[in-house]
Amino acid sequence: MLTYIVRRLVTAALILLGASFLVYLLTAASGDPLAELRASNAPNREQLMEARSNLLDLDTPAPIRYFKWLAGASQCLIPFAGTCDLGRNTANQPITDALGHALVQTLTLVTAATVLAILVGITLGIITALRQYSTLDYGVTFMAFLFFSLPIFWVAVLLKEFGAIGFNNFLRNPEIPLPAAIGIGGVLGIVAAIVAGGDTRRRVLTGGIVFAVVTALLIYFSVTLWFKTPGLGPVVIAIAGVGLAYAVTLLTAGLKNRKALQSALIAVGVGVVAYFAIQPLLNQATFLMIVLLAIATVLVGVAIGYFVGGYDRGQSMRAAALTSFLVGFLILLDRFMQAWPTYFDNSRVRGRPIATIGATTPNIEGDFWVLSLDSFTHLILPTSALILISLAGYTRFTRASMLEIMNMDYIRTARAKGLSERTVVMRHAFRNALIPIATIVAFDIGALIGGAVITERVFSVRGMGFLFFDGIEHVDPNPVMGVFVCVAITAMAFNLIADLAYSALDPRVRVKA
Amino acid sequence: MAEQASLKHPPAAGIEPIIEAKGLSQGQIVRKRFLGHAGAIVGLIVFALILVAAFSSVGYAGIPGWWKYDHEEVSPLVNDGVPTASLFPLAWGEHPFGQDRIGRDLFAMTMRGAQQSITIMVVIGLIAGLIGVIVGALSGYFRGWVEAILMRLTDVIIIIPALLLAAVMGQIAGNRDDGNWLSAFTSNNAVLALGIFLGLVSWVGLARLMRGEFLSLREREFVDAARISGASNARIIFKHILPNAVGVLIVNVTLTMSAAILTETALSYLGVGVKSPDTSLGLLISQNQEAFSTRPWLFWYPGVFIVLICLSINFIGDGLRDAFDPRQKKFNAKKAKDTGAPMAPEKTPVAAMDGTAADGSAAGGTRGA
């Protein structure tokens, strides 16, 4: 095991050396770094060119410059010495600083998108695998192929046009005309009927209920101008909480486990009480406080499950913890909605909240809620574009993996010994189907930092992709090398982690020592 | 006797009649399965239509086409460039897809762009397939130091970003006056050169897959038999092992090609792929995205063509995968459950998704970005 890891690390280091040498030479050969200055007619042109040549050290041939760069970069290997030197970019900013900023930007952009895409993709994959060759399966498969074929820059422009400009126009006067409300309700009703499954009666019933509820809700929103002053309120939180409690119990323990259902419902009750108790505290919220509250919520849920007990304490604890976490999320959502009018009328936002470019509104001021809403409205478009594009892969992969598992002998054994379908799917099949998915996820997290060159460009986010492209445009190897080294190291590390995780999760697979 | 009796029984519930039993050759079985895949057939027809339209309308390589304009020709604006094609009444008109701001015909530009995309796709598919097969076959068959060197080379190339290579190629193509043959070639055949460059980096995923196939196939009995009867290494590789790996190869070349289209359009969009005055679908979108509110058609038509080409290729690939995978049976879980019939094996995730997963990295991260 140890020999294997050491061998992998040594090869990785050698590959990194070779590839970085190639990348440096390629970048240096990719153009004339003085081209833009040559074309300018500034009076001090010669001086500028002189300065740029000195800055980029153009008198030295590229292979030798690479070794100079390597000497600086190798100091990064000494921990805590602070002597890390990756060179400077054409604006004379140290690359290490620029990388720090870019990394934060990229991670905020990509993390939410990846996590959501993984969650939704795996869920869809499992559902389609369980209902192979149904209308739902064909529909999702077609959508997966369609999304897989979409160029991201095209999706991004469409989202900007309809998601941002269109929605902002709608918010100016948030009234939904009756035909539109019925139309949206109808579409969602049909989707619900397809998703519901079962016999025709059940499908029609589900579709009908969803159609009626959605249409009524939209009319209510339109009449009360809900989108101007959105909010949930304790009643909606309580109703939604009870629904969540049932759903969570159904998935984690099964509705037959009364103790688990009880603890989930108690968690909802505690949540509604906490809703009133916590409002003054939330007015002075900080990010750290929200994190602490989230942890506290989960702990309270675990405690509820523990005290309710029952023949299987673990299941009650799991159900209660999940439910209380979700109810806590609803309370948070409600508080964000309360802050919405303040944000909407902010002098910097001027009633057009959904932004098309950048990562924050310049010079915006406000409390935690307003600032969070601001980054949320900036992130929503790039995040949805990224989710659409990466969803397809996870869905197809999970479906294939789940189908293979469902045909295994041990699944038949589990059914034969009389386990409920829920236990078979959630405990026996799902967990095993996750093994190959775990490796894919590890690969993707490794590729996260490489981020999204095109998405960042379309939405003008100054992240890693921006830095990389900037380096290529200025024929400046330093930013390119900085990004490349970060991306390559994380990618290789996560490749190794993926391989180790696979052998840890699946004992049949051994790593070669 | 028992066999005959079981043959007369109706086929097991949920499983289609086993066509292999009719004594068809491997090629016939594959063809039959492929033709039975509705999505793949629709994809094939759509792709064929686009192919014919793109290459015949504006002409290719000096041969004139049937369309009256070409992608660089400026004509007076008709009705401010609004598309003249309509369904009710069915009409084609002077400028079916409309015109851009200076009066170039969008139909001609889109067709020219589709030509470029398809050309690049085919070039990438051929080059990546060829190199991938050779590298994968050599490293999988000979193992030892050949494998070590080739696979480390693959590792190095897999982490070099495609964007960088495209920028380098653009630079070489820009130096028209250098006088060396490389810059002369790239500046005269920019699209072909871009395809070749991208092909030279997108073979890595294929090479890894082919190596895996060769690693498992070289241990099989028929390879031992061939070796004992005195076949040379080359003969074993090309006549005995390669035909058995051809399914995986074809499927993944298709998927590489569909990823290649997106890579090309993305690079053109970023300004390092196909450059003006020549045109490509990605470049058209990049040039016209600001005009979305005033001339939306300039944005819609090229985008729809990218999606159509890519989607049809993906469906063809899916059909090929179903056709080539011998473990794949049409299997209906519901029917099987109703009658309690034995379950048929389904396709494995390796066969199902490896191609696409590998392509993501093969495209140098441009896909998904």
Residue-wise pLDDT for B193-238, tens only, equals 888 888 888 888 899 889 988 988 888 899 999 999 999 999 999 8
Output the six-digit token pair for A366. 């406000």
The verdict on a CB contact (< 8 Å) between A491 and B159 is yes
State how far the Cα of B309 lies from the Cα of A150, in Å rounded to an integer. Answer: 10
ipTM: 0.81
Q: Which residues of A307-339 are buried (b: 16+ CB within 10 A; e: fewer)?
A: ebebeebebbbbbbbbbbbbbbebbbebbbbbb
Chain A residue nearest residue B151, CA to CA: A15
Model pLDDT, residue B137: 92
Task: Tell me if A322 sits within 8 A of A301, measured CB to CB.
Answer: yes
At residue B251, does pLDDT exceed 90?
Answer: no
Interface of A with B in 159-218 (CB under 8 A): 161
Task: Tell me if B304 sits within 8 A of B284, measured CB to CB.
Answer: no
State how far the Cα of B171 lies from the Cα of A452, in Å rounded to an integer. Answer: 24
Model pLDDT, residue B367: 39
Q: Is B187 on the interface with A (CB under 8 A)?
A: no
Among the partner-chain residues A406, A440, A469, the one whose CB lies closest to the CB of B357 is A440
At residue B280, does pLDDT exceed 50?
Answer: yes
Interface of A with B in 69-128 (CB under 8 A): none
Model pLDDT, residue B358: 34
Model pLDDT, residue A30: 76
Q: Is B231 on the interface with A (CB under 8 A)?
A: no
Model pLDDT, residue A298: 93
Model pLDDT, residue A212: 93
Q: What is the pLDDT of residues A408-440, one digit of tens each?
A: 899 999 999 998 888 898 888 988 888 888 878
Residues of A in contact with B258 (CB under 8 A): 149
- Compute and round to an integer the Cα radius of gyration of chain A: 27
Model pLDDT, residue B86: 67
Among B147, B159, B325, the residue to mutate for chain A (most A Cβ within 10 A): B159
Task: Tell me if B113 sits within 8 A of B279, measured CB to CB.
Answer: yes
What contacts A458, CB < 8 A, 6 or more positions away? Answer: A152, A153, A156, A157, A382
State how far the Cα of A120 lies from the Cα of A383, in Å rounded to an integer. Answer: 13
Longest dimension (CA), chain B: 81
State how far the Cα of A239 lies from the Cα of B269, in Å rounded to an integer. Answer: 48
State how far the Cα of B58 lies from the Cα of A437, in Å rounded to an integer. Answer: 46
> CA quadruple B17, B22, B28, B30: dihedral positive or negative?
positive
At residue B365, does pLDDT exceed 60?
Answer: no
CA distances from A455 to A106, A461, B280 (A): 10, 8, 20
- Taking Cα atoms as reference points, which of A372, A312, A337, A358 lies closest to residue A456? A358
State how far the Cα of A3 lies from the Cα of A513, in Å rounded to an integer. Answer: 6
In the predicted model, residues of chain A with pLDDT beneath 50 are none
CA dihedral B80, B82, B88, B92 (to 10 degrees): 100
Model pLDDT, residue B9: 46
Q: Is B343 on the interface with A (CB under 8 A)?
A: yes
Tell me the pLDDT band of B180, cut-offs 50, 70 and 90.
low
Among the partner-chain residues A22, A157, A440, the one whose CB lies closest to the CB of B299 is A157
Output the six-digit token pair for A241. 């909480």
Q: Is A482 on the interface with B (CB under 8 A)?
A: no
Q: What is the mean pLDDT of chain B?
A: 76
Model pLDDT, residue B310: 92
Tell me the pLDDT band of B366, cut-offs 50, 70 and 90.
very low
